[in-house]
Amino acid sequence: MSSSKKNLRIGLVGFGSMGRTHAYAVHNLPYYYHPLLYCAKVAGVCTTSAERSRAYAEQYGLGRAYENVESMIADETIDIIDICTPNELHFDTVLAALKAGKYVLCEKPLCVTTEQARAIADAEKSSGVFGGMVFNNRFMAPILRAKLLIDQGRLGRLLSFHCAYEHNSSTFAEKEPGWKQTAAHGGGVLNDLGSHAVDLIYHLCGEFDCVQGLSQIAFAQHGERWQTDADEAFYITAQLKCGACGTIVANKLATGANDDLSLSIFGETGSIKYSLNEPEWLYFYDRTRPTAPIGGESGYIRIECGGRYPAPGGAFPSPKATVGWLRCHVESYFTFLNCVASGTPFTPSLTDGAYVQLILERARSSAAQGMQLKVGAL
Ligand SMILES: NC(=O)c1ccc[n+]([C@@H]2O[C@H](COP(=O)([O-])OP(=O)(O)OC[C@H]3O[C@@H](n4cnc5c(N)ncnc54)[C@H](O)[C@@H]3O)[C@@H](O)[C@H]2O)c1
């Protein structure tokens, strides 16, 4: 029986931790979303080793193993190039894919310099296709709800915010340094965790006016051994164009932290709090609720967002089931493919990724110069 559904054929570049995550998302879309209006499939994979790519293709059902990214982009049967390589490699692949008329899904951060970011934003505008960023935290259900509440004006004028993304991974002396610990490969915690945190504040509260950055490397060496030349913690104070001020922390020196992302946004009439370690809940304080002796009705309420995605999501697994990090990657991928299938531009776009890159670069320059800097336009 032939299907009238649109086929979307994806070429996956890189099959490390995120390549696997993206392949998982695509393979499992039919379980999570019913009906699914298109038929998406990973049709090819490419890594640094053709032999490993062949083994992955066979083991995970990833279609064809390509010798290199150029041959994948040149293949007319591939519709979407999905980029899961180290940060410094994103730029060339994004540009080549857009030039070849492919849709592009790019892992964060978009690239490693503002010049590259501007070139990509220009290329996206003139390409006739569009791209998307994997800022997957936007797709956690409590963050979708937070965006709704802010857009509905339930927080009123935004006053202040904190966002911290913390890991403990730079506190392990025995861990071999890799590309994420090497500045020349686009490593460093600001690019890595900082891009997510900056994007969340940009997404929920709007554009940035000025930033001041402070960068920290606590373990340049571990004993005799080289460890890193890239920031292990980065602290930003920022003022937004809406007037709100706050802090953004990206930190891999957080002993005891696993994947700790926390966010608070305070407005004149309400506030929200969220933690990735409690992905079921958005905490919402509504200042308009009546207060009285012994509390009245005031106080934070805990909204059960969990797996309650809008249709056609939300039914599997049951909304009662606890959700995890993988679920927001699935929702992010689903939303991107919906946009490709219907020809509607996706948010976060590559241009959104470029704007985040500008903020990261201004924060880094500010840390180097020891002074606050205006962010300006892309
Ligand atoms: N959104 C998230 O939740 C999240 C989490 C972790 C990492 N990331 C991002 O995902 C990207 C990949 O990170 P990772 O942790 O999967 O890295 P990784 O080191 O685990 O995997 C990188 C992959 O890229 C391949 N690769 C390297 N050079 C290549 C080339 N020239 N051509 C083809 N393939 C090549 C490697 O063979 C490997 O398969 C990074 O940009 C990172 O910032 C995102």
Q: Which atom of ligand 1 lies at the shortest distance from residue 17's CA? A: 16
Residues having CB within 6 Å of any atom of ligand 1: 13-19, 46-48, 69, 84-87, 89, 107-108, 134, 136, 192
**How high does pLDDT run on average in the chain?**
96
Q: Which of 119, 79, 154 is nearest to 343 (CA)?
A: 79
Alpha carbons 363 and 358: distance in angstroms, whole number: 9
CATH of range 6-137; options 2.60.40.1760, 3.40.50.720, 2.60.15.10, 3.40.50.1820: 3.40.50.720
Quick: pLDDT tens for 353-368.
999 999 999 999 999 9
Give the Cβ contact number of residue 186 at 10 Å.
21
Percent of the chain with pLDDT over 70: 99
39: pLDDT strictly greater than 90? yes
Confidence of residue 1 (pLDDT cuts 50, 70, 90): very low
Token representation of residue 362? 């201004």
Question: Does pTM top 0.85 for this prediction?
Answer: yes
Q: Which CATH number fits domain 138-321+356-369: 3.40.50.300, 3.40.50.360, 3.30.360.10, 3.30.460.80?
A: 3.30.360.10
CA of 84 to the centre of ligand 1 (A): 4
> So what's the pLDDT on residue 276?
97
DSSP 8-class letter at 155? T
pLDDT, position 63: 98
Residues of the chain with CATH 3.30.360.10: 138-321+356-369
Residue 2 has pLDDT above 80, yes or no: no
Instruction: Tell me what the mean pLDDT of segment 224-234 comes to.
Output: 92
Among 218, 161, 163, 227, CA closest to 193: 163
Domain limits, CATH 3.40.50.720, in the chain: 6-137
Structure-model confidence comparison of residues 174 and 205, the more confident one:
205
Percent of residues in the chain assigned helix, strand, coil, to nearest 5: 35, 25, 35
> Of 305, 318, 178, 161, which Cα lies nearest the Cα of 240?
161
348: which residues sit within 8 A by CB, 6+ positions away? 132, 133, 135, 138, 199, 203
What average pLDDT score do residues 58-79 get? 98
Query: Is the CB of residue 276 less than 8 Å from the CB of residue 196?
Result: no
Mean pLDDT, rounded, for 110-137: 97
pLDDT tens track for 294-350: 999 999 999 999 999 999 999 999 988 889 999 999 999 999 999 999 999 999 999
Sequence-distant (6+) residues with CB within 8 A of 189 are: 167, 170, 230, 231, 232, 233, 234, 250, 251, 252
Atom 3, ligand 1: residue with shortest CA distance: 136
Answer yes or no: is pLDDT of 3 > 70: no
Residue type (1 letter), 155: L
